[in-house]
């Protein structure tokens, strides 16, 4: 391979491997990907919740078209699928912001100031629970427990748990999410799996 060809190939690879530059998949492509997932899970017991989790990962939320596709694909009624989505706060039927802020209101966090932390987020972001900022950067939700009760009050932003959060620190925490990259230096929970 000539030097020129090598350079051209590297340039082509850099263009095709940059995920951030990839165009958003079309509705049709998303549907095709979801169909692949449904084919994999069809007939398996307990398939609904993992399929919904994957679908939410694909779409960013769960639009009605996706729920109807899941219902048809798993042989369940739309009402059954919609009922599960409504029951678990983890699922969202409206588009979420780029970063999901979840404030724990479990017992340990609540008694150690979780409500004040939530109020501070509401004021700072200018949205209520379940809302998304106009620039689609942040969505705000509440949660029951992250398994970090000893370090309450806790919040989770995307996959990162922030411990012993004080209302006065909220501006500093949010500033770390001002760009497209989530921070890594904050303390994290050993088992940050959010409870459904």
Question: Which parts of this chain interact with ligand FES (CB under 6 A)?
Answer: 104, 106-109, 145-146, 148-149, 152, 154
What stretches of 33-188 adopt beta strand conformation (E)? 99-104, 138-143, 155-157, 160-162
Least distance between ligand FES and beta carbon 30 (Å): 33
In the complex with ligand FES, the residue whose CB is nearer, 66 or 148, is 148
Q: For the CA atoms of 176, 99, 15, 36, what is the dihedral angle to 10 degrees?
A: 150
Q: Return all residues near 100 (Cβ < 8 A) that are at least 6 apart.
A: 138, 139, 141, 156, 157, 158
In the complex with ligand FES, the residue whose CB is nearer, 67 or 117, is 117
Least distance between ligand FES and beta carbon 108 (Å): 4
In the complex with ligand FES, the residue whose CB is nearer, 52 or 152, is 152
Nearest to 34 by CA among 64, 71, 69: 69
In the complex with ligand FES, the residue whose CB is nearer, 69 or 112, is 112
Helix axes 27-41, 48-59, angle to 10 degrees: 160
Least distance between ligand FES and beta carbon 81 (Å): 29
Q: How wide is the angle at C-alpha 100 spanned by C-alphas 178 and 190, nearest 5°?
A: 100
Residue 195 has what DSSP assignment?
-
Alpha-carbon span 80 to 85, nearest angstrom: 9
Least distance between ligand FES and beta carbon 107 (Å): 6
Least distance between ligand FES and beta carbon 61 (Å): 25
In the complex with ligand FES, the residue whose CB is nearer, 73 or 194, is 194
């Amino acid at each position: 391979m000539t030097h020129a060809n090598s350079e051209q190939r590297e340039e082509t690879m850099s263009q095709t491997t940059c995920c951030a530059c990839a165009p958003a998949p079309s509705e049709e492509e998303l549907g095709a990907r979801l169909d692949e997932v449904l084919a994999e899970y069809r007939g398996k017991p307990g398939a609904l919740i993992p399929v919904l989790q994957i679908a939410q990962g694909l779409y960013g939320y769960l639009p009605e078209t996706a729920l109807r596709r899941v219902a048809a694909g798993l042989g369940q009624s739309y009402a059954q699928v919609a009922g599960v989505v409504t029951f678990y706060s983890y699922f969202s039927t409206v588009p979420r912001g780029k970063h999901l802020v979840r404030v724990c209101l479990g017992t340990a966090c609540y008694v150690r100031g979780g409500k004040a932390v939530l109020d501070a987020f509401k004021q700072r972001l200018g949205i209520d629970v379940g809302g998304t900022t106009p620039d689609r950067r942040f969505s705000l939700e509440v949660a029951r427990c992250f398994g970090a009760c000893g370090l309450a009050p806790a919040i989770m932003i995307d996959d990162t748990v922030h411990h012993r959060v004080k209302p006065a620190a909220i501006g500093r925490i949010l500033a770390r999410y001002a760009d497209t990259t989530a921070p890594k230096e904050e303390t994290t929970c050993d088992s940050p799996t959010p409870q459904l």
